[in-house]
């Protein structure tokens, strides 16, 4: 392992904000849009994805020395598909209502680019500890992104948060559109712009400060 590889702490922190899978890398858009109509399904999705990501990252990292380069994608896919099936069965057995509501989006975790890209970028090159930290960081980043979108959509769309009424119907005429597909696209578009705007403002002020200190 070369010295330039990030450490466990760097990997962990990177996943949360600087390399946030949704807002920065634009990966895994399908569940991000589809299950964020309310907090409960969004958080179930995050938990399932986190389980698969952590399990896949750890296993790939454990066998990284034995991996033949031309078979690695096959091994990644096999691992991910197995853990997704296990997660799917668990949800169907213990939270059946939620599993019915999420429907096809649980198996679609298999083609969620976040997981395969983490296996490729981190787990197949670094030790178990780093891979675990990376997976946890990325899952937190994913959870943060889904949570923020679901919060906006559920509060504006139904006046609720986690199913608890925060804006009573007589104060807030729920915007039904926020719970529907267009609401997902609009919310993510605007939140993405907000994140970009904050990033750009910070970059500008940094540049300004540098200029001043030089001048």
The helix/strand count (H/E) of the chain reads as: 9, 2
State which residue, 27 or 144, has the beta carbon closest to another protein: 27
Three-state DSSP at 63 gives: coil
Measured in degrees and rounded to the nearest 5, phi and psi for residue 10 equal -60, -45
**Rounded least distance, CB 122 to another protein, Å:** 18
Q: Give the burial class of 43: count Cβ atoms within 10 A of its Cβ; 0-12 exposed, 13-18 middle, 19 or more buried.
A: middle
Q: Classify residue 173 by its DSSP letter.
A: -
**Rounded least distance, CB 110 to another protein, Å:** 5
State which residue, 9 or 162, has the beta carbon closest to another protein: 162
State which residue, 58 or 81, has the beta carbon closest to another protein: 81
Measured in degrees and rounded to the nearest 5, phi and psi for residue 21 equal -60, -35
Cα dist. 213→101, 129, 201, 202, 204 in Å? 56, 40, 18, 16, 14
**Rounded least distance, CB 214 to another protein, Å:** 25
**Rounded least distance, CB 171 to another protein, Å:** 16
Contact positions vs another protein (CB under 8 A): 26-27, 29-30, 33-34, 63, 66-71, 74-75, 77-79, 81-82, 84-86, 88-90, 92-94, 96, 100, 104, 107-108, 110-111, 113, 116, 157-158, 174, 176-177, 179-186, 188-190, 192-194, 196-197, 200
**Rounded least distance, CB 188 to another protein, Å:** 5
State which residue, 79 or 126, has the beta carbon closest to another protein: 79
Helix%, strand%, coil% for the chain, nearest 5: 75, 0, 25
Contact (Cβ atoms closer than 8 angstroms) between residue 64 and residue 124: yes
State which residue, 177 or 207, has the beta carbon closest to another protein: 177
Contacts of 193 (CB under 8 A, 6+ apart): none
State which residue, 8 or 88, has the beta carbon closest to another protein: 88
CA angle (8, 65, 54) in 5-degree steps: 45
**Rounded least distance, CB 190 to another protein, Å:** 7
């Amino acid at each position: 392992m070369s010295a330039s590889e990030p450490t466990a702490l760097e990997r962990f922190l990177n996943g949360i904000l600087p390399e946030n899978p949704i807002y920065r890398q634009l990966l895994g858009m399908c569940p991000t849009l589809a299950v964020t109509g309310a907090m409960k399904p969004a958080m179930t999705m995050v938990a399932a994805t986190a389980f698969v990501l952590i399990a896949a990252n750890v296993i790939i990292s454990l066998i990284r020395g034995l991996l033949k380069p031309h078979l690695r994608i096959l091994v990644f896919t096999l691992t991910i598909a197995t853990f997704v099936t296990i997660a799917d069965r668990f949800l169907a057995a213990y939270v059946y209502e939620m599993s019915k509501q999420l429907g096809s989006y649980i198996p679609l975790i298999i083609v969620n680019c976040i997981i395969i890209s983490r296996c490729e970028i981190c787990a197949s090159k670094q030790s178990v500890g780093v891979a675990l930290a990376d997976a946890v960081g990325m899952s937190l980043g994913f959870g943060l992104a889904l949570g923020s979108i679901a919060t906006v959509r559920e509060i504006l769309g139904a006046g609720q948060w986690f199913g608890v009424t925060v804006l009573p119907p007589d104060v807030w005429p729920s915007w039904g559109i926020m719970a529907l597909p267009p609401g997902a696209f609009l919310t993510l578009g605007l939140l993405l712009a907000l994140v970009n705007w904050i990033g750009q403002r910070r970059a500008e002020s940094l540049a300004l400060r540098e200029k001043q200190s030089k001048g």
